[in-house]
Amino acid sequence: MSKRKIFILLIVVVFLISATGCPARKPNAGPSPLNQRYQEEPTLSVYFVETGDVQDMRLEEYLKGVVAAEMDPQWPSEALAAQAIVARTFTMKKMEEGGVEERGTDASTDIEEFQAYDADRINENVKQAVADTRGQVASYEGNLINGWFHADGGGLTAASAAEGLAFTEEAPYIHSVEDPGFEITLPENKSWTASFPISQVREAVQEAVGSDPGEISTVEVVEEGPSGRATKVKLGEVTISGPGLRLALGSTEMRSTLWNEISISGGELVVSGQGYGHGVGLSQWGARAMAEQGETPEDIVKYFFNNVTIEDLWD
């Protein structure tokens, strides 16, 4: 075949392709990894610390007791619904990670192990909030997030899980935002003071870090996070994380690690601060404030968690 005929043949082929069109590659529009793993509502085993019993429950039924216990059931429905999304996500993430290993169950009603639960507090508001968000979870890049929440961020939530929880794994969806709940929160969340006998502090720190701090006569915050929370504290000869010290001394007594002052006086460790909780993720008082301002549950969750997606996993 001559070069001229080959050239003409190529022109014809190009013309036919342009006229009929090549089949374009379709983007991968399949279900997300979450929708592949969860296509129906799961059943979970729950350890009841009050009785020692284990009970199997459908997730949505269990969630009503969690939302009722973790947030005031009389609060606005949008706040309760935001709590439902986050608590559902928290539960499923923990289930993925193996649940409560020491109990051999998916969940526990012991707040030191899992989430609070109180079926007696369930009302119509809670039932509606759970029903309105049925199957909804928060994800980041196709995976469940750690659905952390706390009562009050003290005006500003923690910049990272490391800052508020001493959590070492990556959690890029956690960021620091202004907490609108600080304007309407309880007085004890706006300003609190707690005192601990030095003997108790020494014992608690030794148990937490495995090293005796010795006679504690000085205390120093040696590191703070971007939101101002104490991340490292030196007591005597030992350095402990701020979150670690809070847990060691009691998270209800030392209400947060957002401290205004810490000192030793009269044989006691005296701490003053603001906020209530670890400060990571959803602020419950912030959720209430945003709900009262007309924000939707999805808006609330996406405000406190950066670049997350709300996914519907089951009907």
Question: Between β-strands 259-265 and 268-273, what pairing exists: parallel, antiparallel or unpaired?
Answer: antiparallel
> What H or E segment, with its residue span, contains residue 33?
helix 33-37
Quote the pTM value: 0.87
Asked if 141 and 218 sit in the same domain, the reply is: no
- Assess whether 306 and 228 both reside in one domain: no
Domain co-membership, 202 together with 286: no
Lookup: tokens for 271: 């701490």
- What pLDDT score does 315 carry? 82
Q: Are residues 50 and 137 in the same domain?
A: yes
Q: Within a domain: residue 181?
A: no
* Residue 195 domain-assigned (yes or no): yes
Do 124 and 216 sit in the same domain of this protein?
Answer: no
Report the alpha-carbon distance of residue 127 to residue 143 in Å, rounded.
Answer: 27
- For residue 165, tell me if it sits in a domain: no
**Residue 179, domain member (yes or no):** no
266 and 289 part of one domain: no
Does residue 68 sit in the same domain as residue 129? yes
Which pLDDT belongs to residue 287?
98
**Sequence-separated (6 or more) residues with CB below 8 Å from residue 196:** 204, 249, 253, 254, 268, 269, 271
Helix (H, G, I), strand (E, B) or coil at 191: coil
pLDDT number for residue 230: 98
**Location of structure tokens 């009722």:** 68
Give the integer Cα–Cα distance in Å for 260 and 162.
20
Query: Smallest Cα–Cα separation from 208: which of 169, 236, 247, 235?
Result: 247
User: How long is the chain?
Assistant: 315
- Kindly provide the residue ranges of all beta strands, DSSP E only, lying in the chain, ordered along the sequence: 43-48, 53-58, 107-108, 136-140, 143-144, 149-150, 192-197, 219-224, 230-235, 238-241, 259-265, 268-273, 282-283, 309-312
| Domain contains 180 | no
> Tokens for 132?
């309105």
pLDDT tens, position by position, for the chain (315 residues)? 544 444 444 343 333 333 334 334 334 444 557 777 787 899 999 999 999 999 999 999 999 999 999 999 999 999 999 999 999 999 999 999 999 999 999 999 999 899 999 999 999 999 999 999 999 999 999 999 999 999 999 999 999 999 999 999 999 999 999 999 999 999 999 999 999 999 999 999 999 999 999 999 999 999 999 999 999 999 999 999 999 999 999 999 999 999 999 999 999 999 999 999 999 999 999 999 999 999 999 999 999 999 999 999 998
Looking at residue 32, its pLDDT comes to 59
| pLDDT, position 59 | 97
Please tell me whether residues 50 and 143 are part of one structural domain. Answer: yes
Provide the domain limits for residue 80: 41-147+281-312
Helix axes 77-96, 297-304, angle to 10 degrees: 50
User: How many domains in the chain?
Assistant: 2
d(CA 248, CA 266): 21
